[in-house]
Amino acid sequence: MPPLTSEGNRDEVNVRVGISLAPPRQARWTILLRVFMVIPLYLVTMVIGIASFFVLIVAWFCALFTARVTDGQQRFLTNALRLYANVEAYTYLLIRRWPGVTFNEKPDDQVSIEVDHVGLRRWSVFFRLVLALPAAFVWNALYLGSIPLLVVAWVWGILTGREPRPIHQSLALVLRYQLRLQAYCALLTPTQPFRGFLGDGLPPRSAINNDSVSPPSSNLGALPSSADPSVAERSSEATPSTLVTRWPVSRFAKVLMVVMLIAGVPLYFLTPSFENPLIVRMQDLISRNVVTTSHTVTISAMNQFEATTASCRGDYTLECQQRAATLASPRVSHQAALLLSNNVFVPTSALSSAKMYEVDMRALVNELFTVQTSNSLSVQARVLKVEIPETVAHLNRDYLVEEARLKG
């Protein structure tokens, strides 16, 4: 195993996130169209996220048995987190340039991520998801509470070309908490994300008066002392070494963080009682495609099955019907499995009819299996003449009900 970049097991390892605390001036049209400009970024992030999931599974087993993740896993997961951080910062209007989709660290990154590579405790690795639940609850509440603030920042940005400083800093704190939570869940750090929830102190009075934020000397780098905020912004985006990693934020930004958290708690519990119209529409579209395709394939298989069994005559009727069921059963079983695996896409309003349709599909699979394995012509005849036609009729009826609900 390659050596750790930091020796020993440490309970406190900060995920250092660097970003300018001064809201950058941005082109208004990019703020107006930001939701569309981030779509390709999120598509790439989704692909990287899928790869990261499999890397994380391997890393979990490595950490469970060796109390650490390998250097390669650490680098990959950190780079994935860095990519996500830049995409989210662009979405939150915290940075002005389109960050691109480069996976590795770049000298001109507007957001920097640094994570110490340390040993982990096996018991905390084993229970990592359970240990992350409180922090995840806080994040969910914080995210819901930040949505109105994002709307205000978006409208304000369209009108003025930049976010208000307190909103910029509070959204940056939301992002840092989110990144530290993800780093904890991804085994990059043994430290819970709560430290620095309200920032790392207050900015110097001179920085407030000059409308710029200067980090303390203990930071990796410092912003220029110029009183012109635009100069500070340009310098803070020049290289990662000048990005603030210790965040002295204003009192107003701290108040906004508390307000977001308090407002998000009731929203967290109310969210299951209402559904986002856009998400419901996407669920309808996905479910309708899945159900329609499944039904078309199933009915086609059953029509072929009916035609084959109708032609079975003579001494080989039993074997002929068994072969017909053997051909139809895998196709119907596959469609039933697709429906069960895609239930997550079905909106609540159509879930009951979807379950009834799936019950019909499972009944049809069982009846085909009976025909396939039965050695009795009388049993086959009963299933072919009574049970299968009734099940197909129920299947058609429940499909029409499901389709109508998904279209409604």
pLDDT in tens, 147-168: 999 999 999 999 999 999 999 9
Cβ-based neighbours of 169, under 8 Å, separated by 6 or more: 21, 199, 247, 249, 250, 253
Token pair 């051909």: residue: 327
Q: Indicate the fold that domain 277-407 takes in CATH.
A: Four Helix Bundle (Hemerythrin (Met), subunit A) (1.20.120)
pLDDT at 233: 42
For residue 135, the surrounding DSSP H or E stretch is: helix 133-160
pLDDT of residue 402: 79
Least Cα distance to 21 among 221, 223, 174, 187 occurs for 223
Other beta carbons within 10 Å of 362: 15
Q: Per residue of the chain (408 residues), what is the pLDDT tens digit?
A: 455 655 555 555 678 899 989 999 999 999 999 988 998 898 888 889 889 999 999 999 999 999 889 989 999 999 999 999 999 999 999 999 998 887 778 888 899 898 888 888 999 999 998 899 999 989 988 988 999 999 999 999 999 999 999 999 999 999 999 999 999 999 999 999 998 899 887 665 544 444 333 333 333 333 333 334 444 444 444 444 467 788 889 999 999 999 999 998 887 776 654 445 545 566 666 677 778 888 898 999 999 999 999 888 887 888 998 999 899 989 888 887 776 555 545 666 667 777 888 888 889 999 999 999 988 888 888 999 999 999 999 989 988 887 787 765
Which residue type occupies 403? E
Q: How many residues does the chain have?
A: 408
Beta strands, E only, 39-126: 112-115
How far apart (Å, rounded) are the C-alpha atoms in residues 176 and 164?
Answer: 18
For CATH 1.20.120, the residue range(s) in the chain are 277-407
